[in-house]
């Protein structure tokens, strides 16, 4: 409804101060956040790569789990939105995906606790890495 877009939340305020365009896409272009009482997390990506990589799917899954715990409703999909290309990808989020995220968290905690350094990843990722100068 037209009047709904003038109902602002704290999140809108936070988004606006992060980037006014985000609010533009959500409020003016109507990029959906909630459809038919379904909660859908949306991640806005400024990237040349319009794709649902594993890491991006994990991120959406983690948001879905946080939304589930806050609102007590199942979240079964999320959206990756690419404003520069004006494209979006709908990502299905299964219960299995959520279990994998919980397993990932266990693995990360175990690694931190053990203080054992993991192996390196493929080199193509290293050029975008902010800790590369510490990594031998």
- Residues at the interface with ligand SF4 (CB under 6 A): 120-121, 125-126, 129, 131-132, 135
For residue 136, the minimal CB distance to ligand SF4 (Å) is 8
Instruction: Name the H helices within 27-73.
Output: 54-71
For residue 59, the minimal CB distance to ligand SF4 (Å) is 17
Residue placing its CB nearer to ligand SF4 in the complex, 7 or 131: 131
Instruction: Provide the 3-class DSSP secondary structure of residue 62.
Output: helix
For residue 126, the minimal CB distance to ligand SF4 (Å) is 3
**Residue 61: CB partners within 8 Å, gap ≥ 6?**
78, 93, 97, 98, 100, 101
Q: What is the rounded distance in angstroms from the CA atom of residue 76 to the CA atom of residue 92?
A: 6
Residue placing its CB nearer to ligand SF4 in the complex, 14 or 132: 132
């Amino acid at each position: 409804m037209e009047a709904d877009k003038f109902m602002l939340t704290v999140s809108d305020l936070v988004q606006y101060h992060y980037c006014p365009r985000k609010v533009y896409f959500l409020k003016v272009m109507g990029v959906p956040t909630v459809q038919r009482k379904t909660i859908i997390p949306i991640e806005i990506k400024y990237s040349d790569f319009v794709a649902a990589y594993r890491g991006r799917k994990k991120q959406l899954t983690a948001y879905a789990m946080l939304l589930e715990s806050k609102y007590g409703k199942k979240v079964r999909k999320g959206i990756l939105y690419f404003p520069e290309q004006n494209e979006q990808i709908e990502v299905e989020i299964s219960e299995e995906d959520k279990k994998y995220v919980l397993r990932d968290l266990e693995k990360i905690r175990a690694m931190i606790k053990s203080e054992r350094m993991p192996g390196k990843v493929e080199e193509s990722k290293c050029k975008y890495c902010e800790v590369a100068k510490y990594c031998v």
